[in-house]
Amino acid sequence: TQLLEQSPQFLSIQEGENLTVYCNSSSVFSSLQWYRQEPGEGPVLLVTVVTGGEVKKLKRLTFQFGDARKDSSLHITAAQPGDTGLYLCAGALSPSGGYNKLIFGAGTRLAVHP
């Protein structure tokens, strides 16, 4: 059974603080996506990382893919109330046929207080 463990589950911080969310698995993924989901809506893609060791930056968000492509992290610098939401990591497995089956973590619910 493929499992993607995401931590922490909940994070409540003050505006301006830094935070890191982790995703860990024993499975090797062909790529890993980070999504953000608002209540009652579908996940919205933030970034895709493909290469082991890859680092991508999106404004105050930094995403890293582990060297072995089994884990990833999301670091937010100087968090703002607008960052509040559910952050999901999803590892892509590629069964024969070339398509990607996403295995999601349980999510990290982030609350940033003014």
Partner 1 sequence: DTGVSQNPRHKITKRGQNVTFRCDPISEHNRLYWYRQTLGQGPEFLTYFQNEAQLEKSRLLSDRFSAERPKGSFSTLEIQRTEQGDSAMYLCASSAGQASTDTQYFGPGTRLTVL
Which residues would be at the binding site for partner 1 (CB under 8 A)? 4, 6, 30-31, 33, 35, 40-45, 48, 50, 88, 90, 92, 95, 97-107
Q: Name which of 66 and 107 has its Cβ closer to partner 1.
A: 107
In contact, 89 and 32? CB cutoff 8 Å: yes
Give least dist CB 87 to partner 1, A.
10
Give least dist CB 59 to partner 1, A.
19
φ, ψ (nearest 5 deg) of residue 67: -55, -40
For 22, what's the count of Cα atoms within 13 Å in the CB-facing half-sphere? 7
Amino acid (1-letter code) at residue 45:
L
Distance in angstroms (rounded) separating the CA atoms of residues 34 and 69? 14
In contact, 67 and 52? CB cutoff 8 Å: yes
Q: Name which of 28 and 45 has its Cβ closer to partner 1.
A: 45
Give least dist CB 114 to partner 1, A.
26
Q: Name which of 22 and 104 has its Cβ closer to partner 1.
A: 104
Q: Name which of 15 and 91 has its Cβ closer to partner 1.
A: 91
Give least dist CB 52 to partner 1, A.
14
Distance in angstroms (rounded) separating the CA atoms of residues 113 and 80? 8
